Amino acid sequence: MNWYLKVWKQYADFSGRARRKEYWMFTLFNALIVMVLFAILASGAASGSDGMSIFGGILYGGYALAVIIPSLAVCVRRLHDVGKSGWYYLIGLIPLVGGIILLVWFCTDSQSGENQWGVNPKE
């Protein structure tokens, strides 16, 4: 949970480096929260309760909007950690291949030593 909160504390910090653990723990907790919020939204829609459905939609939409910038920031910092510019995140716009390339980079170990974006966070 500390890794998830660390990303929120660095809300719009696109500088520096992020370890694999920081990125993947944020992704895990983010996915769990989205599943819970979607379950609230779906249960409201399935029960036919307009109030519950609207409440779930507001929660789900609000969280989705709030998490865009920290998600982008941790992705850029993760790319910095493997020695890539944050602009490489746009490679994900290439259908299928772009997502696979990003997944490989997000799973790659940190570049050892210091690079142009800072010291290795593992050291």
Domain residue limits at 57: 2-107
Is 118 part of a structural domain of the chain? no
The reported pLDDT for the residue numbered 11 is 87
pTM, full prediction: 0.85
Residues of the chain with pLDDT under 70: 49
The reported pLDDT for the residue numbered 60 is 87
The reported pLDDT for the residue numbered 119 is 86
Is 116 part of a structural domain of the chain? no
The reported pLDDT for the residue numbered 99 is 93
Tell me the CA distances in angstroms from 5 to 9, 69, 70, one per residue in order: 6, 14, 10
Q: Give the count of domains, the chain.
A: 1
The reported pLDDT for the residue numbered 7 is 87
